[in-house]
């Protein structure tokens, strides 16, 4: 497991700043550093429990932003070829909660470092959920206000893994055909739904809302359960095994399918 946590500025042209961050660096520490330096690009990804090396595997995302938006290069050690390899953003095959590291390179890539391009140019991304309201309540779209707002939102909805065992959001938000979404909206006009960038034939639904409306928010089965404030999160109340969590995940997927005809799937990387 990589242990290096160093951060290095590779290039600064006055607007764009390229940085290299070693894999063991704490993700939120990186976000806090970028905000303190006046650098835009990853502020919406505040308070995600992760290391920098794990971020590209999952293509972590929150509140309308994804790690891929700032990543330029991922460097890894290939356990088959025994070589260090550098992949460009395009070569990582990033998609919604997806990357080459969850598929072709699963089990053979040890990520060593990630390079990012951040910007001194203000680029607030406030179009998702409660973010704009929380940011405005703090006085407007500064980096510090955005980070503080997102930390507050996450803290109000998501359990602290140090207190209650969890892996964060467990399920992907499903992407469905527009016709499917339109049909559901006839019965559930309040259903959250979002456009899919680059494809107006598809619509993204909110898995947490679907699970909640399936009657499972706060559901408990022995030592595992669905979090009572955010239905996307499965929690370990103490003593649960990986098998217990996976059985619960399967049950949740089945219930949503029965209630809405929509398939949801885990976003976590299951080893």
Catalytic residues, by residue number, are 97, 169, 267
**Cα separations in angstroms, 185 against 54, 124, 191, 205:** 36, 30, 7, 11
CA distance from start to end of the chain:
15
**How far apart (Å, rounded) are the C-alpha atoms in residues 227 and 219?**
7
How many Å is the Cα radius of gyration of the chain?
19
Question: What is the rounded CA–CA span in Å between residue 58 and residue 194?
Answer: 21
- 35-41, long-range: CB < 8 A, 24+ apart: 35/143, 35/144, 35/147, 38/120, 38/143, 39/118, 39/119, 39/120, 39/143, 40/118, 40/119, 40/120, 40/121, 40/122, 40/123, 40/124, 40/143, 41/69, 41/70, 41/116, 41/117, 41/118, 41/119, 41/123
Which string of DSSP letters, residue by residue, matches 97-135?
TB-GGGTTTTTTEEEEEEEEEEESS------STTHHHHH
């Amino acid at each position: 497991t990589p242990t290096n946590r160093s951060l290095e500025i590779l290039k600064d042209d006055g607007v764009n700043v390229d940085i290299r961050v070693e894999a063991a660096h704490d993700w939120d520490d990186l976000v806090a550093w970028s905000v303190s330096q006046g650098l835009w690009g990853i502020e919406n990804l505040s308070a995600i429990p992760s290391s920098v090396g794990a971020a590209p595997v999952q293509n972590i995302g929150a509140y309308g932003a994804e790690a891929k938006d700032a990543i330029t290069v991922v460097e890894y050690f290939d356990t088959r070829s025994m070589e260090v390899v550098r992949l460009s953003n395009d070569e990582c095959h990033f998609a919604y909660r997806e990357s080459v590291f969850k598929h072709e390179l699963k089990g053979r890539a040890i990520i060593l470092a990630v390079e990012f391009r951040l910007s001194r140019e203000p680029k607030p991304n406030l179009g998702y959920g409660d973010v704009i309201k929380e940011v405005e309540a703090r006085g407007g779209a500064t980096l510090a206000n955005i980070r503080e707002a997102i930390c507050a939102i996450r803290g109000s909805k998501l359990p602290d893994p140090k207190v209650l065992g969890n892996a964060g959001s467990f399920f992907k938000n499903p992407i469905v055909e527009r016709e499917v979404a339109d049909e559901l909206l006839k019965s559930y006009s309040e259903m959250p739904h979002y456009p899919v960038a680059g494809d107006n034939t598809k619509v993204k639904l909110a898995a947490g809302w679907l699970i909640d409306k399936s009657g499972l928010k706060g559901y408990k089965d022995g030592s595992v359960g669905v979090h009572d404030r955010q239905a996307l999160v499965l929690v370990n109340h103490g003593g649960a095994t990986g098998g217990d969590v996976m059985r619960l995940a399967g049950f949740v997927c089945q219930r949503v399918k029965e209630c809405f005809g929509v398939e949801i799937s885990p976003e976590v990387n299951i080893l």
